[in-house]
Amino acid sequence: MSSDKLITFVSGLKMFLEHEIQSLSAEIESLKNPQTLSPTPRLDELREENAKLKYRLNILKRSLQEDDTDCSKSMMNINQRLQEVFGEAIRASCPELDNPPLAVTPNQQAKFGDYQCNSAMAMAQMLKAKGIKVNPREIAEKIIQNLSDNELIEKTEIAGPGFINIHLKRTFVSKLLSNLLINGVQPPPLASRKKVVVDFSSPNIAKEMHVGHLRSTIIGDSMCRLFEFLGYDVLRLNHVGDWGTQFGMLIAHLQDKFPDYLTISPPIRDLQAFYKESKKRFDEEEDFKKRAYQCVVKLQSKEPDFIKGWNLICDVSRREFQKVYNCLDIQIIERGESYYQDKMTEVVKEFEEKGLVEIDEGRKIVFVPGQPIPLTIVKSDGGYTYDTSDLAALRQRIFDEKADIIIYVTDSGQGTHFQVVFAAAQLIGWYNPQVTRVEHAGFGVVLGEDKKKFKTRSGDTVRLMDLLDEGLKRSMDKLKDKERDKVLTPEELTKAQSSVAFGCIKYADLSHNRINDYVFSFDKMLDDRGNTAAYLLYAFTRIRSIARLANIAEATLRKAAETTEVILDHEKEWKLGKCILRFPEILQKILDDLLLHTLCDYLYELATTFTEFYDSCYCVEKDRQTGEVVKVNMWRMLLCEATAAIMAKGFDILGITPVQRM
């Protein structure tokens, strides 16, 4: 549900409850006075009804109070609130326009105010198309005249051809900051708890995870964290490659080279080597190819020995995958291609019954109007394909999981494939894109510093565990260069090492627009200057240390949040306060476009804005001679706390773990 629909729903619910309360109150009042009732045998019944009505009234009042409480605890999306206010004014100003444009954005220059409404120019163009010539400034004046009384706008000004500059009330911003400090970083209220399925990571059984799996794993996890924070019911799925012809090849080869495969599986590196050898034999030896196909048939028939060998291979692979997931703190449920095997027959049958299947050289294919390529749902040998598997998975997620949102996080090279799969699902009537959101979140490849695909010096694909181990090594070197090993305990040093290593690897990926390729560089990602995790982690640690160094207890700060007004008189206090409160706007944008670099850019902006504030506004004043604290500006300490709270939640969504000391 969009933000506008959510607000409309909550407002409508409140109006309904208030109307119910008024009706019930009036009915109760009439029942209270027996003189207004003619004596009838029903008097006792009416009194009993009166008691029931009172009970219902109390329940409704409590429900309304709880609704108000939940909303007041949530962080307000200021941009969204401004859009509501200006949306009403725009519609009142030009009732002759259907769906007039609504454009409210943060102002880039403080001297022009805090936000800007840019609708007047576009409205003038729409009116011109209707034969009505109006100056955009006149429209802007009308909009301002139609603004209803509200809690957030101090004043408005018209600039240029019709821009409306918006200045917020400082008391309003101060109140929102106090709400944040008292209640913590809370998501907006949800009208309904939607089900979200995110398909990400997806390595192949019998192969080691390599750098190609890095982006899907990191991006998919962060998307899940965002949906989870916002209150959605999230199912994290690992659609591993664990079925198909390659397992017939591998088992046939193991029968020759590793006859104990039914009791113990080779280690993952040997398995990967065996897989390469089996592929070579499959391509070159006709007898081996026939035997491999026989093994596939036996595996698909679920013959016990073949299932046992297959399970051992899967278990070895899972243990290796889990090492990566443990390092990166990834929670994910495996549901591989094998899970959907029994469901593929139903998919083929359904497409055939709807008359959507064509026969092409023995294959069963589906042409979707407007799509560049057909789907092959049954091969000429009777086997199923990735097309069939992905259709079965999508069908299961729509009908069995009852998902409202389904996100596929894979490389952009699979974009056309998913485009056709989604179009076929709509063609057959599985879902309506206006109701169910099904989306491919594609991403570019990881490049080496030579701008070519990231590989080892020997030309092999980089193992993901090797990359993570190298990150740990370089992170420790960096910490020792900064002499952190001299001030941190061994346990703190190890925590800082993991935080910096894995945080930097994640942030380097997430801080780039996922659609583009990005260059992997340990030197750049470990640099503690600029928009890097290292810089943000150090900045966060410094902010957290301010209260500790000033000997201000956490309980004191909690009490101050309830009793101290956050003063925003200094321009840097004002700038920081507004920046902190833009957090809900940032999350809403990411929810719409799934581009996580927006959050990274915001956290960097927040950190640099905080530095400007801290350099200009004394939070703690100390005696120059003794170093003792002589004055604490508590409202500024609260701004420090609010900044840290937002940064911590941002880190959590990105899957980065900060530490207390670094």
Cα–Cα dist 346/153, whole Å: 58
pLDDT tens digit string along 350-381?
999 999 999 999 999 999 999 999 999 999 98
Task: Look over the chain and give the mean of its residue pLDDT values, rounded to a whole number.
Answer: 89
Q: From the centroid of its chain, how far is CA 272?
A: 34
- Spell out a b/e string for 151-163, using b for 16 or more CB atoms within 10 Å of the CB, else e: ebbeebebeeebb
Bridge-partner residues for 333, per DSSP?
Answer: 237
Torsion of CA 220, 223, 225, 226, to 10 degrees: 180
Cα–Cα dist 201/192, whole Å: 28
Q: How far apart are the first and last CA of the chain?
A: 41
The alpha carbons of the chain give a radius of gyration, in whole angstroms, of 31
Q: Which residue has the tokens 């603004």?
A: 147
Cα–Cα dist 374/358, whole Å: 10
Cα–Cα dist 622/628, whole Å: 5
pLDDT of residue 50: 60
pLDDT of residue 381: 83
Across residues 86-110, what is the average pLDDT?
A: 92
In contact, 208 and 324? CB cutoff 8 Å: no
Across residues 613-638, what is the average pLDDT?
A: 88
Cα–Cα dist 548/69, whole Å: 32
Cα–Cα dist 132/164, whole Å: 22
pLDDT of residue 69: 40
63, exposed or middle or buried, with CB in 10 Å at 0-12, 13-18, 19+? Answer: middle
Q: From the centroid of its chain, how far is CA 113?
A: 30
pLDDT of residue 593: 97
Bridge-partner residues for 159, per DSSP?
Answer: 163
In contact, 166 and 185? CB cutoff 8 Å: no
pLDDT over 60 at 6, yes or no: no
Indicate the angle between helix axes 464-481 and 490-510, nearest 10 degrees: 120
Bridge-partner residues for 629, per DSSP?
Answer: 622
Coil, strand or helix: which one is 115?
strand
pLDDT over 90 at 649, yes or no: yes
What confidence tier does 245 reach under pLDDT thresholds 50, 70, 90? confident
What confidence tier does 660 reach under pLDDT thresholds 50, 70, 90? confident
Q: Domains in the chain, start-ordered, CATH in brackets?
A: 78-168 (3.30.1360.70), 245-329 (no CATH), 465-654 (1.10.730.10)
Cα–Cα dist 208/185, whole Å: 39
Cα–Cα dist 534/540, whole Å: 10
Q: How far is CA 200 from CA 212, 217, 236, 335, 336, in A?
A: 12, 6, 8, 11, 11
pLDDT of residue 626: 82
pLDDT of residue 67: 45
In contact, 280 and 252? CB cutoff 8 Å: no
Percentage of the chain exceeding pLDDT 90: 70
pLDDT over 70 at 285, yes or no: yes
Q: Are strands 163-168 and 115-117 parallel, antiparallel or unpaired?
A: antiparallel
Q: Residue 109: which region, alpha, beta or left (left: phi > 0; alpha: psi -120 to 50)?
A: beta
Both tokens assigned to 525: 């990602």
Across residues 381-408, what is the average pLDDT?
A: 95
Q: Are strands 333-334 and 233-238 parallel, antiparallel or unpaired?
A: parallel
Which spans in 184-259 are helix H?
A: 214-229, 245-257
Comparing C-alpha atoms, which of 288, 290, 208, 304 is closest to residue 254? 288
In contact, 644 and 540? CB cutoff 8 Å: yes
pLDDT over 80 at 17, yes or no: no
